[in-house]
Structure 1
Amino acid sequence: MAVEGGGTLSEIYQNSKRLLLRTRDGLERLERLEFSSASGVDSPELSFAIKRDISQIQSLCVEMDRLWRSVAAKSQRDLWKRKVEQVAEEADSLKESLDKYFLRNQKRMMEAKERAELLGRANGESSHVLRIFDEEAQAMQSARNSSMMLEEAYMTGVAILSKYSEQRDRLKRAQRKALDILNTVGLSNSVLKIIERRHRVDKWIKYAGMVVTVIILFALLRWTR
């Protein structure tokens, strides 16, 4: 599964900021719905969308955490490290707020169900009310299960992409080393050829010197006679 908003570190960072803004707005709307009445109003679709956005932000943080480490300049690397950490911390804070909302909603559902059971024991007419709450509780549980499955799928996709990226980096490093070795071998061959040529020249100079020496000695012997 591809990570939404893939691209440069700056592009991924801007996408994560937009998602943070949308998630904060969604949480505010969810809380307004929750406190709009005494019993609270739930919106499974909205809470599911918020959960999905938070998972996406966390996935982008994983990708950014990999990318900022490859920034060449230390000052820029430190700056991006702080930016990514801030996004990750805000995503964790939003996730914590959403989890608290789920807990409050679950508590309201349990209290409402208990009240309905008490009323049922009193007048025997609460079966319909209990069925409504049971159906709503099942819908909420289904939304939570779907949200967890989506989050696991995102994290699995990010892990796969990270592995592919690491393998690609290793292949690039191996390719650079191979090119360096080839360049070194090419240079060594050139040096060996120069040495061989020099050795041949020295050998001919030695032979020529020996011949000249023999000729000089032979001439001196004849002259002394």
Structure 2
Amino acid sequence: MEGGGGGGTLSEIYQSSRRLLLRARDGLERLERLESSSSSSSASSVGTGMNSSELAFAIKRDISQIQSLCVEMDRLWRSIGARGQRDLWKRKVELVAEEVDSLKESLDKILLRQQKRMLEAKERAELLERANGESSHILRIFDDEAQAMQSARNSSMMLEEAYSTGVAILSSYSVQRDRLKRAQRKALDILNTVGLSNSVLKLIERRHRVDKWIAYAGMVTTVVVFYGFWRWTH
């Protein structure tokens, strides 16, 4: 399966997520067909050269990418000004999120069933080997397949962790940006309310410098007076 990319606008990202949903759904259907025909000799491929482990990993990768796009779309629809358009996009994004959750649940069920069948088949092969000593090659086949399935599950966990990290980073970025915007608006409102012009600010700054020099002069005078008093008394 090829990776799908999202555009910059909400509409482009939405179209990318729909394409990925179609691809993931098609991959699930092929994986289910492969599962139902697992007893045949051609069960190791699904017409694309992929075995079940590779196909499951590709589907999981698409699902994780769709979830990331949902996070981005959720951020973008909130910035739409028109109430009607904002509500419409909110519902569209919710539908995509619900559909990708359903696909993820279906994939997890398939992976669990496959792992269970592998364990059962391995147990049967072990019984046969103990009975006639001629099933060692069968055990090796199932061991290889079980390891491939475990690798797919490990890769899925890594993708989920990466997705969670991405969600946390995007959410933190969105919150910080909203706070900065509110602070900027508040500062502008305060300046507009007070009505301070550049000339008034410069006048205040000059007055501050004058006050500072007066303070310095007072300190110097005090030192001189105390020094003269000390000299006079000694």
Q: TM-score band, normalised by the shorter chain?
A: 0.7 to 0.9
CA displacement at 1:37 relative to structure 2: 4.2
Report deviation, 1:71. 2.1
**1:163 maps to which of 161, 168, 172:** 172
CA distance in 2, matches of 1:59, 1:53: 10
Quick one: which of 123, 138, 141 aligns to 1:132? 141
Distance 1:6 1:182 in 2: 39
For residues 76 and 167 of structure 2, the distance between their equivalents in structure 1, rounded to whole angstroms, comes to: 13
Q: Which amino acid aligns with 2:56?
A: S
- The answer for unaligned runs of 5 or more in structure 2 is 45-50, 200-234
The correspondence of residues 4-43 of structure 1 with structure 2, limited to 5 A, is 5=6, 7-38=8-39, 40-41=43-44, 42-43=51-52
Q: How many aligned residue pairs are there? A: 187
- Alpha-carbon distance in structure 2 between the residues aligned to 1:6 and 1:166: 23
Q: CA deviation at 1:62?
A: 2.1
Structure 1 match to 2:182? 173
Offset at residue 163 of structure 1 (A):
0.9
Residues 189, 153 of structure 1: alpha-carbon distance in 2 compared, 3 angstrom cutoff: closer
1:50 Cα offset (Å): 0.2
Q: Please state if 1:55 is matched with 2:64.
A: yes
Amino acid at match of 1:64: M
The aligned counterpart of 1:85 is 94
1:44 equivalent in structure 2: 53
Per the alignment, residue 210 of structure 1 pairs with none
Structure number with bigger Rg: 1
8 Å CA contact retained: 1:63, 1:162: no
2:145 is aligned with what amino acid?
A: E
**Superposition TM-score, scaled by structure 1 size:** 0.75
Displaced runs of 4+ in structure 1, greater than 3 A?
Answer: 39-42, 187-190
Cα distance in 1 for residues equivalent to 2:128 and 2:149? 24
> Would you say the 8 A contact 1:52–1:151 is kept in 2?
no
Larger RCO: Structure 1 or Structure 2 (Cα < 8 Å, ≥ 6 residues apart)?
Answer: 1
Identity score, percent: 86
TM-score scaled to structure 2, two decimals?
0.72
Deviations 1:56-98 (A, max 9, x none): 1112222222322232222222211211111111111111111
- Whether the aligned pair in 1 keeps the contact of 2:75 and 2:174 (CA below 8 Å) is no
The answer (yes or no) to whether the contact 1:30–1:43 under 8 Å persists in 2 is yes
